[in-house]
Every structure is written in structure tokens, then in C-alpha cells.
Amino acid sequence: MTDNASKNNTSKPLRILVGVGGGIAAFKAAHLVRYFTERGHNVHVVPTESALNFVGAATWEALSGNPVSTTVWDDVSGVQHVRLGQEADLIVVAPATADLMARLRMGRADDLLTASCLVATCPVVIAPAMHTEMWENPATQDNVATLRSRGITVLEPAHGRLTGKDSGPGRLPEPDHIGALALAAHAQPGIFHQDLVGTRVVVTAGGTHEELDPVRFLGNASSGRQGYALADVAAQRGADVHLIAGHTEDLPTPSGARVTRISSALELKDATEQAAREADVVIMAAAVADYRPAQQADSKLKKGGEDQLEVIELVENPDILAGLVELRRAGELPEGLRIVGFAAETGDSESTPLEHAQRKFLRKGCDLLMANAVGRGKVFGQEDSAGWLITNPFGSDNPEALEVREVPAGHKLEVAGAILNALPNT
């Protein structure tokens, strides 16, 4: 995530309580505190007593600008053990150990952090971090399920290097990633509810590169952020996510998602059609090049040489989205497969971006279309987006009869939540 001033912030500073459990990943919470304070939020850090074995209270006070305590016996006259949780707009616990989640599940209030969580009425986001065996233990999974059933957001841990030589699920996601997810949970309550458990979701993301020679290509400005956000939110909502990624910025891999890397539009077509055969939902968020060079040189084309670059002959790439719809119609893909498309449009003298998108929706035949008005400094490469969701509930062939729902400007995680909320039923 970048430090763009418009990221999933709110119109006024939030009062955020950052809880820190006693795990080696506690050092990452220092960066999480910085993430929130740099966005103007007021942060109180409440570590457990064990957490202070990893990072001292002086560090938390310096980063947050607020006093730090672990016990309910400090500031008794100010009723701190109740006040902090009551006044918080958002609580983020990172890292959350297996022991801490067990205590939260049982409703314990034996230190300042658990007491604060127990009185909270604001969104509570928990980012677990522990060894794989602890995370996968039935007791931990039962605790996670119970906390989620109570409306608490328990994020999926990342896969990667753990303490020592171990590697696997259980790694704390990167602090900026946690921060963005937590602010999305505040901005859009319920964005991570578990409605996609057991749903197989394929998401395409990023731009394609159409090779001209070994060092040159035709491409576009897509960063892949919206596709990654969709994969991220879908995975956090319990889906089995397969992310097919083209060329993207250096983005954190969505926790638990399988990733297939592609480069060209033809590679994207093959990978998507194969993945769609075992999917319930396909979301085509990738920015696919419309054309590719008719010839790809084996060596770099030189200036002034016999093979110098003067004219590029182009051929049209296949329409992957429309092709998926046709394969479904022909019975080669599951009948209940839901297909979501994207339309990045600019207006012209004849039509607005929305009018262009409405006609595109009818041409493609998909079930849901997310339309954006794009341009220089808009949508591509940005953390925020906005647009319209287009559906055809009555099967009309008239663009004016389509159902259009506006998606207000927000972080692409929030836009992803709106898109997933709008998925048509099978």
C-alpha cells in the first residue's frame, strides 16, 4: 500500500485501539501503529504483559503519543478498563496469539486488552500469528469460528516464513495490509462476513504484456490493485480463491489464495477458461490488451537496421469475457457459473462512460459489470475507485432498462466488498 492521502481514510480521525499479543510478530505492530498515526488517527496501544517481553512500553508510547498500560489497575479513577473499549471507533489486535484468541472467545477480562475488547461496540479486527500447527489445531479453529459468529473479524493469516526454520500458514500479514483491511472493516461493516465459505472464486488481475521483441511490449497502466482487493476480500469471506495475475505492482498476495502468473492475453485466456471449469464465480478484473503484434521478433529490433521498427501490424486479441459467457451457454462451463466483468471507460462527444458501459454489458452477456470512468490519475494505479454496478434483472436488450447502482468513492477493498455483495444468486 502506498501513502496516497486518499486511501481508505475517513472524514475525521478515528480513535483506534491497537492490541498487541505476546508473539515474536509484535515488532510488526510498531509499523501498524505508524500506519494509523500517519493517516491522522488517534492510537492507543494496549499490549498484553507477554507482549512487553518483545517490545517495550516506551516504544509504544513514542509511536502513539499516548500512555501505555497492560493492567486494569492503572487509572482506576478514570475507569480505563471500560473507557478505552467504549470510546474506540476501531479495535485491531495484531498479533493475536492462540492463547489470546482463546481468552477472547471465553469472554475473559483478566487484563486491559481483553477487558477493552469485551466492552467494545465498534468493529474488532483480529490478525492471528502463530505456528502452522497451532493455527490448524481444532481448538484454535473452533475459537476462530466462534469469534466470527459473534461479528468479530478474524483475518486469515499469511503463508510464509515463521519463527525458526518453519514455514506455512500462520504468518502475520504485513502491517500496511492489516491496516487497510481494518479501515475497510470500519468503513463497510460486514465486509468480511463469512458468506462465501465453500465458494470457488476465480479472479483475474493486472495488465497483459503483448511482446513485440524480447525487450518491448504493448501494455497498459493497470496496477492490479482492484483484482487483488477482490481476491483478498473474497478469501477473507471464506472463499476458495484462485488469483490469475498478469503484470501488477508489488502487491501482497491475498492470504490463502492460489496464484497463477500469466503474461499475455492468450495466456490469460487459457488459464481463465481452465480455472472456470471448476469455479462458482469468475471475476474478470484484469486489464486485457485489445490487440497484440502480429509478429514477435526473436531479437531486439534496432534503429536504422533492416528490421527497424517503423510499422507495427496488430491483430485483435480474443474477447475473454464474452468467450466465457459463450462457453457457459454451450454447456462447456458450469450452468450456475456467475461471470463478472469490468468496463474501464472514458466519455466522448457521443456518450458518457456509463452509457458506453451499459452497451458493453449487453454485448458481453455477463451477469454483473463493474464500470469505471478512467483517465489520467483516475482508477489505474490509485488506491481508491468508484463507478457503477450494472445488472439486467429483467433480461432486457435496452440499455436504459438495465439496473444501475452507484458505487461511491472508496478504497478498492471497499469497492471489492460492494462488488461481492452484488453477486447474483445462482
Q: Is 28 annotated as a binding residue?
A: no
Would you please indicate which residues are annotated as catalytic (active-site) residues? 220
Reply yes or no on whether the pLDDT at 76 is more than 90.
Answer: no
- Region 388-400: mean pLDDT is 91
**All structural domains of the chain with their residue ranges:** 13-185, 198-420
Q: Is 319 annotated as a binding residue?
A: yes
pLDDT at residue number 3: 38
Q: Is 169 annotated as a binding residue?
A: no
Task: Return the closest-CA partner of residue 420 out of 240, 233, 272.
Answer: 233
Query: What CATH number belongs to 198-420?
Result: 3.40.50.10300
pTM, full prediction: 0.90
Q: Which tens digits make up the pLDDT trace of 274-326? A: 999 999 999 999 999 999 999 888 888 877 666 666 778 899 999 999 999 99
pLDDT at residue number 424: 86
Confidence class for position 394, pLDDT limits 50, 70, 90: confident
Q: Is 364 annotated as a binding residue?
A: yes
Q: Is 152 annotated as a binding residue?
A: no
CA 361 to chain centre: 25
Q: Is 393 annotated as a binding residue?
A: no
Reply yes or no on whether the pLDDT at 376 is more than 60.
Answer: no
Question: Under a CB-based contact definition with an 8 Å cutoff, are residues 386 and 408 in contact?
Answer: yes
Lowest mean pLDDT among 12-21, 248-257, 282-291, 385-394: 248-257
Q: Can you identify the CATH homologous superfamily of domain 13-185? A: Flavin prenyltransferase-like (3.40.50.1950)
CA 378 to chain centre: 19
Q: Average pLDDT, whole number, for the chain?
A: 90
Fold identical between 13-185 and 198-420? yes
More confident call, 186 vs 220: 186
Reply yes or no on whether the pLDDT at 118 is more than 50.
Answer: yes
pLDDT at residue number 6: 42
pLDDT at residue number 389: 97
